[in-house]
Every structure is written in C-alpha cells, then in structure tokens.
C-alpha cells in the first residue's frame, strides 16, 4: 500500500511505495508528449512534479524502460472504457489509486461513480494539482489506509453500495503485497455483492526475477513480492475467475511499444516448445476477473 510520510522533495530515491506513483506518472507524461501517443494525460507531468522527474532519471533507461507501464495504461484504458460503456456499470473502486487521472482524462459516462481510495497525503496532492479541473464522471476521494483490514471491510462495502455492477481496480498494487495479503483482499472484495469485476495487472515469478535484477536496488524500500506461479488461478479459491487476459508481450507489439531488443526474444521464442512460448506470453499481463 502506501505511506503517509512526506519525503524530501529534492530526493531522487523511492523511499516507500507511494513514491512509485510519481515514477509511473512520468512515464504517462512521456507517452502523452509523443506525436503517436496511445493516450493523452495532460495532468501527468504536473502530478509527477520535479521529484517524479528525478526518480525517473535515477531508475536508469529513461523513457525506453517504461514500455510496460505505457502498455499497461493503454490496456486498462481500453477495458475500462468498454465496460463503462456497456450495460450500466455503476461504480469503480480504484484501490491505492495513486496519481491515476482517468476520471479527468477519459470520456467516462457522467452517471458512473468513481471512488479513489488512498492515503490522505496522496489524495491531497492530487486534489491540489487538479483543482478546478472537471471530472467526466461522479468523482469521490476516500482517505483510507488499505492495510487496516477491519477498516477496509467496513468502508469499501459502503463505498460500493448501490453501484452494481461495480468494478474494483488494483493497478500497480498487488505486486507490492505478500500472497496472504492478496488472499485477504480477494476475500474482502468478493464479500461486496456490488462488485462484479476485478481489473488488475499481474506478473509471473520470471517477471519478478527480471524486475528485481533491473530495479532491486532502487526499490529496496518497495520490493516486488506478489507473483503467483499459478497466475490468475490463485484467485479461484476466493470466488474470482479469469474472463480476460491481455498479454503485455503481445500487446506491446500491437501498440509498437516493445522493450528494447524484443525482436531477439521473439526469435528465440520461435524455437522454444509451445509450453515455453505460452509462459512467455503470460509473463506479465492485464487480467479481468469476474466473481463466481
């Protein structure tokens, strides 16, 4: 989840999980400024601020290392808009919302209720940056420490009440949790009858090993943790089943936002067994779960 402590604004270090929101916002800013951008987030650079720029520079690789964040954002946008324009989705609970600006940058239905759930400092920062900007839907911010399970179980059902069919979204959250924490969250979300869907990004153990090698030192205060070997089947005992999987590997090629040297990995994959190719395809992706 995130911390409410205020960091040194001159620091380029990621000191807790909340700081990753500044880093990701900078990737959205860079994509938005491209002439061939897949999405436009006119608020991203302001939300990230100078500290977000310093964090991005400290991570190494510049904009080229953010291909997965860009693809993730694009896919979540596509799925959210499709569901929101369908048969009357009532509410979105954006858990650990960070600096997500979708209620302002996406053409969501005016009847949709969008609830950002995060810690007070994060929500206050977003509110100050976006002051005076009109949201496309009915926006609400709820200050809540999601680590407090008893409070979470009290507040989340109240936030979703009357919003069926509803959706919970956990973008960039689960990877920072332990498996037992994710299991508890899955149980608690399933107990909310309004929630029909759960939209998330999910990585495999192979992806986490690569990410730790790439950014383990910089992310020592926010280590990557959740990467179930069984993929989305992890959620089945808690009442959720996969209804859609979008591979970041496949979609990156479609969107022309592939990782450096992706052509070499594709060449190697051509000679790999089918099971290995499928593991590569599911190394990281966007998953839409539906309650059983």
Report all structural domains of the chain as residue ranges with CATH numbers, in order of start: 67-291 (3.40.50.150)
CA dihedral 102, 154, 161, 182 (to 10 degrees): 50
pLDDT of residue 270: 75
Q: What is the dihedral of CA 30, 34, 37, 40, to 10 degrees?
A: 60
Within the chain, residue ranges assigned H as helices are: 19-32, 44-59, 67-84, 102-105, 120-129, 149-160, 179-190, 205-215, 248-255, 262-270, 274-281
Residue 189 pLDDT: 98
**Cis (ω within 30 of 0) for the bond into 80?**
no
pLDDT computed for residue 2 by the predictor: 40
pLDDT, mean of each 10-residue run, the chain (292 residues):
46 80 95 97 96 88 77 98 91 98 97 97 97 97 97 98 96 97 98 98 94 83 93 98 96 90 69 75 94 96
Q: H or E element: which one contains 271?
A: none
Taking the mean position of all CA atoms in its chain, how far away is CA 276? 26
Identify any residues that bridge with 118 across adjacent strands, giving them in sequence order.
143
Q: Of 205, 17, 199, 185, give the one whose Cα is nearest residue 92.
A: 199
């Amino acid at each position: 989840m995130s911390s409410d402590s205020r960091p040194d604004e001159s620091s380029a270090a990621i000191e807790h999980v909340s700081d990753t929101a500044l880093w990701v916002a900078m990737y959205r800013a860079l994509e938005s400024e491209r002439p061939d951008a897949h999405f436009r987030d006119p608020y991203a650079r302001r939300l990230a601020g100078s500290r977000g720029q310093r964090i991005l520079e400290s991570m190494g690789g510049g904009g080229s290392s953010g291909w997965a964040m860009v693809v993730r954002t694009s896919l979540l946008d596509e799925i959210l808009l499709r569901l929101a324009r369908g048969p009357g989705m009532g509410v979105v609970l954006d858990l650990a919302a960070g600096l997500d600006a979708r209620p302002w940058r996406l053409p969501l239905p005016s009847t949709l209720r969008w609830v950002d759930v995060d810690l007070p400092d994060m929500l206050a920062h977003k509110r100050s940056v976006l002051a005076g900007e009109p949201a496309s839907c009915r926006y609400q911010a709820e200050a809540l420490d999601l680590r407090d399970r008893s409070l979470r179980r009290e507040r989340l059902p109240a936030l979703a009440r009357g919003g069926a069919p509803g959706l919970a979204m956990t973008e960039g959250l689960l990877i920072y949790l332990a498996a037992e924490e994710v299991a508890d969250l899955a149980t608690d979300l399933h107990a909310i009858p309004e929630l029909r869907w759960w939209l998330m990004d999910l990585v495999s153990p192979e992806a986490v090993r690569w990410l730790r090698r790439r950014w383990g030192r910089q992310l020592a205060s926010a280590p990557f943790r959740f990467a179930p070997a069984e993929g989305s089947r992890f959620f089945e005992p808690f009442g959720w089943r996969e209804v859609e999987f979008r591979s970041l590997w496949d979609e990156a090629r479609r969107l022309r936002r592939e990782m450096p040297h992706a052509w070499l990995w594709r060449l190697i994959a051509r000679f790999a067994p089918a099971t290995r190719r499928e593991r590569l395809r599911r190394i990281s992706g966007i998953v839409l779960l539906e309650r059983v």
